[in-house]
Chain A
Amino acid sequence: MNLVSERSQAGEPGLLRRPRTLDLVGLVARLLLGGVMLVAGLLKVAKPEVSARAVQAYQILPFDLATYVGYGLPILEVLLGALLVLGLFTRTAAAIAGVLLVAFIIGIASAWARGISIDCGCFGQGGTIDPSQTRYLEEILRDVGLVLCAAWLVTRPRTAYSLERTLFA
């Protein structure tokens, strides 16, 4: 009878590759991505017209479509943020958040390339600002960091302290 576990036979995996460590890394990724999404959404959700103006200011989407996207985006961000913070449907939520963030990066890069001076409108505000006040690189780097969090969670959605582990046990 093989009472010796396979793990002991193969030797303990390195600290950095232990499932528990990876779960904790996932937790950090989940809270970072979810936390930022949730805060960004909450800051905008009560002011749909401000959000609509921020999307219009990119001058990418047709005006009316930009308006509707502006109305809906904060709600989507709040929902995705909540799911990620709770750890419910982590992989799906992270995948959608990742797609959104890539779209944001393209939008910011496009505004930068076209020489439009706008605030990204990520956390409310938005619209034209003085060229000296634009922070395109900073905004893009922040979103790239969040895309990495999303990529981690899509690849390895198992995280510590997630609601889905408790709920679907």
Chain B
Amino acid sequence: MASKTSDRRAKIEAATPKSRGGANRIVVATVVAVLAIAAIVAGVIIADQNKKSDLSKGGSSLPVGASAMGVGLVANPSAPANVPTLDIWADFQCPACKQFEDAFGNQVNEMAQNNQLRLRVHMLSFLDKNLNNDSSNRSANAAFCAADQDAFLPYFRGLYAIQPAQEGKGYTDAQLRQVAEASGINGAGVDRWQKCYDARDHNQYVESVQTQSAKDGVNSTPTIKLNGKPLQLQGLTPQTFAAQVKAATQ
């Protein structure tokens, strides 16, 4: 009889959830929930602050050729109204942009020089965040300092010409200066370029173009639009490109 009672007690004990010794579920749940919310809120605030500090760094002056914050730089402002606008969104660290430049750079440059199209360049810097460096931002700043001395396109082309084969390697400050010197900037102009670059005179413009492009849904490079219409790069040849420009000319 006694053994049966203890047997039953053992069974009841085994069946009852053991609350003693275990942690309190509600307390643990509250702690986890509070920590989780704190982590998310803190993460969002820190990211937002970092972004805002990026946006306010450097100077706020517009480079020559840019009419407003967020708007692309027009490389040939003398283009007549009847020619189409070719918009190029590019990042100096983007290998596909170099490929486009290698394949179509001469042609686009020539058409811009002859005012057969209005070339508007939107220099992006988003690859810095992918590649964990700051070369896109620095090189965009460097190119806009060159724009102030009427050397944007030579700088643009010169920098793509020396793009490192390995994506993410970036550009040194010395390389950025060498390209300025090779773009027809010389004498006192080099000092002016250097001063502009060191102070990041156009940094807020660089950031504004990046922000505006993201708002406009352009989030990869190169993106090329002819009169606002995306240009299909796959299968594009100098002939088909020229034909499309001609067709878009009024």
Interface positions of A (Cβ within 8 A of B) = 1, 45, 47-50, 52-53, 56-57, 59, 63, 67-68, 71-72, 74-76, 79, 83, 88-89, 92, 118, 126-130, 132, 167-169
> Is B182 in contact with chain A by the CB < 8 A criterion?
no
- Number of chain B residues whose Cβ lies closer than 8 Å to a Cβ of chain A: 30
Q: Are A128 and B223 in contact, CB atoms less than 8 angstroms apart? A: yes
Q: Is the interface of A mostly helix, strand, loop or mixed?
A: helix
Set of chain A residues within 8 Å of B32, measured between Cβ atoms: 83, 88-89
Q: Are B130 and A50 in contact, CB atoms less than 8 angstroms apart? A: yes
Set of chain A residues within 8 Å of B21, measured between Cβ atoms: 169
Q: Are B217 and A59 in contact, CB atoms less than 8 angstroms apart? A: yes
* Shortest beta-carbon distance from A69 to chain B in Å: 9
Q: Are B219 and A130 in contact, CB atoms less than 8 angstroms apart? A: no
> Is B129 in contact with chain A by the CB < 8 A criterion?
yes
* Shortest beta-carbon distance from B135 to chain A in Å: 16
The 0/1 profile, CB within 8 Å of A marked 1, for residues 7-34 of chain B is 0000000000010011101001100100
B45 to chain A: closest residue by CB: A71
Q: Are B48 and A71 in contact, CB atoms less than 8 angstroms apart? A: yes
* Shortest beta-carbon distance from B217 to chain A in Å: 6
Known contacts A50-B129, A127-B219; A89 and B214 CB within 8 A of each other: no
Chain A binder among B36-44, B155-163, B242-250: B36-44
Kindly state the separation between the CA atoms of A48 and B46 in the bound complex, as whole angstroms: 10
* Shortest beta-carbon distance from B43 to chain A in Å: 4
Q: Nearest 10 A-B pairs (CB), nearest first? A: A48-B47, A128-B220, A127-B219, A71-B47, A49-B129, A71-B44, A75-B43, A169-B22, A72-B44, A168-B22
Set of chain A residues within 8 Å of B23, measured between Cβ atoms: 167-168
> Is B205 in contact with chain A by the CB < 8 A criterion?
no
Kindly state the separation between the CA atoms of A130 and B40 in the bound complex, as whole angstroms: 33
Kindly state the separation between the CA atoms of A89 and B28 in the bound complex, as whole angstroms: 10
> Is B92 in contact with chain A by the CB < 8 A criterion?
no
Kindly state the separation between the CA atoms of A128 and B225 in the bound complex, as whole angstroms: 15
Q: Are A63 and B214 in contact, CB atoms less than 8 angstroms apart? A: yes
